[in-house]
Structure 1
Amino acid sequence: MAFPLRKRLRCFLPFLCFLCVCSHLELVFSEDVERCEHLRLGQYLCKDPKIDDATQEPENCRNMQAQVECFPAPNISCRLQDGREVGFGGDFGFNRSIPCRNVSGYSYKVAVALSLFLGWLGADRFYLGYPALGSWTLHADSASVSPGLLKFCTVGFCGIGTLIDFILIAMQIVGPADGSSYIVDYYGARLTRLSITNETFRKPHQSL
């Protein structure tokens, strides 16, 4: 004998309530798990990028940004954009962007060597793409000095011009003329310029 419609709905109602409660709990738990892109420093670990031997930059460097695979730190989990939850030591992680540099073939070691041994001839400046002759000219915008006859003429006067140029190149203040960066070993002596941004700004403490 078939149950009346009202009785069948009455029997099915507790099951619907159970489904609603389960979906609500799932939504609450999913909101407690932070999204992977919102993890802060110390809450995730990233693999070392694959370095190109020729450029000494990450192989997937595009527009001065490279992608590395990261995983949440132990006892921390996060949620991907597709809803999957990622934990420490999983089979897959999430990608984060790291900065990389634009290089065009100018080696830092070669530039320093030319400046040290053949700087008095201006070989370092010719190598970096500054072939112009003339007097020394200080460019305020790039803090660089163009080579000229004065560099050659000051060799007899304690090599002041050669010494100054060597210091500027060794400190990576003077770089290639095309605006690119030196090719420096990825884990080598790289110059990093720091500037105040929203992430590095430190608010002063109010006096008590």
Structure 2
Amino acid sequence: MVSDGVSKEDFRIDFEYPKEKPEACIDSLKDEDPSDFHYTSTNPLGPVVECHLLDPSFILCEDPVPLYGPGQTGQQPSNDSYHNEGKCLRMGGYRAEHIEFTNVKCRVLPCIECRGSRSFSKLTPCIIYTGHYFLTTLLYSIFLGVVAVDRFCLGYSAMAVGKLMTLGGFGIWWIVDIFLLVLGVLGPADDSNWEPYY
């Protein structure tokens, strides 16, 4: 057996738990604020990760809020301070360069140990998901587009009634909607993006 010169006694990690460990893991956060607890470590290579670097499954963030309602536009604000408040001038976009970013407030979930402040701001894309799936909508358009199920699904009720009454615009509107979906021109009426998982 070859030894590399490092014994088990030489390896140690400098890590300090706080004097009072929160009972949140046991009692599910009675009246305590989870942002009051700070875990400190003197070793930057130690086992505790910075709170703002945690995986998104361990933090809870507010959703970005549109500055105006869905489909509405308004005057451009004189400064960009709305980006620091978690608000977006325009939601979504189908290309990466068209997506805005904003700062939202996040906090670490209870019982997750991390180093630093448990409440912080995080730069987040202005994207919302409202349960619209591209594949499902495309299948609706192909098989049930003649009776306007695809338009009803996306939230275009007025157009859907017209398409329904004319049986898919005598077949033309039905074919055009399939191409509009595939090309990315037709999307949800509430300016949300397609759900990322099928």
Normalised by the shorter chain, which TM-score bucket? 0.3 to 0.5
Q: TM-score, normalised by structure 2?
A: 0.38
Higher relative contact order (CA 8 A, sep 6+): 2
How high is the TM-score relative to the length of structure 1? 0.36
